[in-house]
Amino acid sequence: MFVFSVKSLKLKLIAIIAVVLIACVVFIYFAKRDKPASAGGAINYSAANEDERKAFLAQFGWETSGEPIEVVEVIIPAEFDEVYENYNKIQLEQDLNLKPYAGYRVKRWTYEITNYKGYENKPGYIRANLLVYDGRVIGGDICSVELDGFMHGFKNPKAASEQTTGESQTTAEAATKKAKTGSA
């Protein structure tokens, strides 16, 4: 009898450890799925209320005209067609991914952007779409409603190209200055 109780104790201990390990794996899986990853970890994806949604857009330098233009429920399809695959490419470029939310019902909040360079005098042309699930941004875009418009992630590609152009000009100016002065 004594030997049997020792074996039983070992089996119970192994079973408890297995259950704890499985619970940890499940917890980690859901924790990662609900929190979109960002490259630098500095982006706050909270969007449970109006202030948080506006603060999310402000992180990228966007200003809104006030209340959302539209709030609708969207079902992310269980299987992505070509349109959703292309849209998800935009999400992947900004460290987001809609695939874990396939089949989920989410809310899309649409805001008018008032400070998009080149469109300051064209109210209503530029919009921000935020896809929100459980109080967190899981995707979205900045787009133009013009017939030949554009769509990109939350970061402004014009600002990035202007910064790169400015840096290139500064580098070129420094090289020209060095060439004129003869310094190496």
- To the nearest whole number, what is the mean pLDDT of the chain? 79
> In sequence order, what are the residues at sequence separation of 6 or more whose Cβ sits closer than 8 angstroms to the Cβ of residue 112?
64, 65, 69, 123, 124, 126, 127
DSSP notation for 24-76: HHHHHHHHHHHS---SSS----B-SSHHHHHHHHHTTT--B-SS-SEEEEEEP
Query: The tokens of 134 are what?
Result: 């459980």
Q: What residue ranges in the chain does DSSP mark as E strands?
A: 70-75, 105-112, 126-133, 136-144, 151-152
CA 36 to chain centre: 7
- pTM recorded for the entire structure: 0.65
Average the pLDDT over 28-51 and give the result.
67
Residue type, 166: G
Q: In whole angstroms, give the CA distance from residue 94 to residue 92.
A: 5
Q: What is the pLDDT of residues 20-38, one digit of tens each?
A: 778 766 666 665 544 443 4
Instruction: Report the range of poorest mean pLDDT among 91-95, 98-102, 155-159, 171-175.
Output: 171-175
Q: In whole angstroms, give the CA distance from residue 74 to residue 57.
A: 20
Q: What is the pLDDT of residues 110-152, one digit of tens each?
A: 999 999 998 888 888 999 999 999 999 999 999 999 988 999 9
CB atoms within 10 A of CB 52: 16
Q: Partners of 128 in the beta sheet?
A: 111, 142
Helix, coil or strand: residue 113: strand
Average the pLDDT over 59-84 and give the result.
94
